[in-house]
Amino acid sequence: MRELVRRLEGLRFGVAARALGVVLPLVLALAPGGGLAAQAPPTTAAAVAAYRAGDYAAAESVFAALYAASGDRRFLQARGNCLYRLGDLPRALWAYESARLGRPRDPELLSNVRLVRRRLELDDGGTGFGAELLALRERLTPVERLLAGALLMLVAAGGLLAGWRRSGWRWVGALALLPAAVVAIDLVWLEPQRPPRAIALQRLSLLSEPRAGLEPVAVVRAGVEVDLLGGAEGAFVRIAAGDRSGYAPRSAIAVVD
């Protein structure tokens, strides 16, 4: 093929040039491994058709490609549905939790999360004032929390500035100042210090050092949410589960992002 191209390029312009424009694409198309036809991009219709046909593995693969191309977290939710059908509950929980970062109030998604957690026999996050605050925080996206904090700050500033004439406005400003400060502290100080979350894809044996063959210092059930301490590179990563920490294989966890 290269010899043919070399000879064609040596011909004069005119008819030979037109021949080059016809023959060269044909040669490249017919050459082994040189086909010019691009692979058709994945489509939502293809993924839905595979899902309805019961080919959940193929549907999950297409939904993964669609999410990588678009960033639309609805495709993560669809991946979770496929993984649930395949019986991979820990990875389905990871997909749902990742989708929840962009769709924190979607009722169907929240119902799926509860269902998978119940199937994995995981707790629901506990009760009490702290748990309720955490649940409220998780129902807002980071952008929504930022806007809520800015709005509360604006109301607090307006109320305190106008309060020199009316005491009622001072109360409004003072009441808005407290949640505004909580949101600001969470966004500015606490959020950057929070470690990335991850889901245990299988039963984890936490090791005291990043190498195999050691006695585990703790055991983590599949589906449990853990904190990723340090980087996510390498064969082993350091994680924390409750009050215990140790090293686990990187392939055994999936970071929620």
pLDDT in tens, 95-130: 999 999 999 999 999 999 999 999 999 976 655 656
pLDDT of 230: 81
CA dihedral 32, 37, 39, 44 (to 10 degrees): -160
Burial annotation 171-202 (CB, 10 A radius, 16+ → b, else e)? ebbeebbeebeebeeebeeeeeeeeebbbbbb
CB 75, CB 66: distance < 8 Å: yes
E strand residue ranges, 41-90: none
Q: What is the mean pLDDT of residues 72-94?
A: 97
Residue 199's DSSP bridge partners are 225, 254
CATH architecture of 44-119: Alpha Horseshoe (1.25)
CA–CA separation, 181 vs 66, rounded Å?
Answer: 39
pTM: 0.75
User: Side-chain half-sphere of 188: how many Cα atoms within 13 Å?
Assistant: 8
44-119 and 197-255: identical CATH topology: no
CB 238, CB 229: distance < 8 Å: yes
H or E segment to which residue 245 belongs: strand 244-249
pLDDT of 23: 36
CB 213, CB 206: distance < 8 Å: no
User: DSSP label at 165?
Assistant: T
Count CB neighbours of 97 within 10 A: 23
DSSP letter string, 96-151 = HHHHHTT-TT-HHHHHHHHHHHHHTT------SHHHHHHHHHHTS-HHHHHHHHHH
Residue type, 30: L
Domain boundaries, the chain: 1-30, 44-119, 140-193, 197-255
Q: What percent of the chain is modeled with pLDDT above 70? A: 79
Instruction: Just give the CATH number of 197-255.
Output: 2.30.30.40
pLDDT in tens, 185-214: 877 777 778 899 999 999 999 999 998 889
CB 179, CB 159: distance < 8 Å: no
Average pLDDT, the chain: 81
